[in-house]
Amino acid sequence: AQRVTQPEKLLSVFKGAPVELKCNYSYSGSPELFWYVQYSRQRLQLLLRHISRESIKGFTADLNKGETSFHLKKPFAQEEDSAMYYCALRLRNDYKLSFGAGTTVTVRA
Amino acid sequence: ETGVTQTPRHLVMGMTNKKSLKCEQHLGHNAMYWYKQSAKKPLELMFVYSLEERVENNSVPSRFSPECPNSSHLFLHLHTLQPEDSALYLCASSQDVQGGSGELFFGEGSRLTVL
């Protein structure tokens, strides 16, 4: 079965510093990877997906099949980036979305 | 109201009670999901419905009983729960079960406490 690992439960950075959230997965096929975010008092929502190759709110994530990773990066963190971030995986054309345990990011002024 | 709406937002029940969680989506989606979010654990998929037909029952105990009367509504009936069932129960919907963008739209969750 596929598995998603987020090794960091908590991540604290200063405003303006780079931030990187790690995500590793175990699956030998061609997965689709996602990052979901939950801001304080808001619902869980999609941040970005690897297929789109997009930058959302300054965040990017590159799928590295060799390292089976999908790390989320932002060069200059902002206070509004403080949130809970979940990495998720699904098999292509499947409906099961498997989530990691999540990383809580705190951006300090 | 748009999006995915869950009621009640908070529920406290005894182990012998029977209660239900309700989810409604106004997005015209065909698929609906129940997830369980426990402290310090990843989100666990419980049930998946596609056009009112259950397509997944992820080894969930029978004390949880889902119902999907139409593609806009999803219920989770609860009876004789255990304290370890206390968690945040999230409802989500997506355009379709397979294919598509894979994006799930979540409700705000129902916080369940079993005494």
Parallel, antiparallel, or unpaired: how do β-strands A103-108 and A83-91 relate? antiparallel
Burial class (CB in 10 A: 0-12, 13-18, 19+), B60: middle
The pLDDT tens digits of the residues spanning A55-92 come to: 899 999 989 988 999 999 999 999 999 999 999 998 87
Q: Do A93 and B99 touch (CB under 8 A)?
A: yes
Which of B50, B104, B108 is the closest to A97 by Cβ?
B104
Alpha-carbon gap, residue B110 to B115, rounded angstroms: 16
Question: Given this model, what pLDDT does residue A51 score?
Answer: 81
A50 close to A60: Cβ distance less than 8 angstroms: no
Strand pairing of B10-13 and B110-114?
parallel
Instruction: Give residue for tokens 């619902």.
Output: A43
**Neighboring chain A residues of B48 at a CB cutoff of 8 Å:** 95-96
* Residues in chain B within 8 Å Cβ distance of A44: 90, 106
Rounded to the nearest angstrom, the minimum Cα separation between B110 and chain A is 12
The predicted pLDDT at position B6 comes to 98
pLDDT bin (cut points 50, 70, 90) of residue B99 is low
Contact A95 B31 (CB under 8 A): yes
B89 has pLDDT over 70: yes
The pLDDT tens digits for A12-60 are: 999 999 999 999 999 877 789 999 999 999 999 999 998 888 889 999 9
User: If pLDDT is split at 50, 70 and 90, which confidence band does A97 have?
Assistant: confident
Question: Cα–Cα distance between A45 and B81 in angstroms, integer?
Answer: 29
* CB proximity under 8 Å: A 51-80 to B: none
Residues of B in contact with A96 (CB under 8 A): 45, 48, 56
Residue A99 and residue B41: Cβ atoms within 8 Å?
no
CA distance B98 to chain A (A): 5
Residue B1's pLDDT band, with cuts at 50, 70 and 90, is low
ω into residue B8 within 30 of 0, thus cis?
A: yes
Question: Residues of B with CB below 8 A from A3's CB?
Answer: none
Q: Give residue B13's pLDDT.
A: 92
Contact B42 A95 (CB under 8 A): no
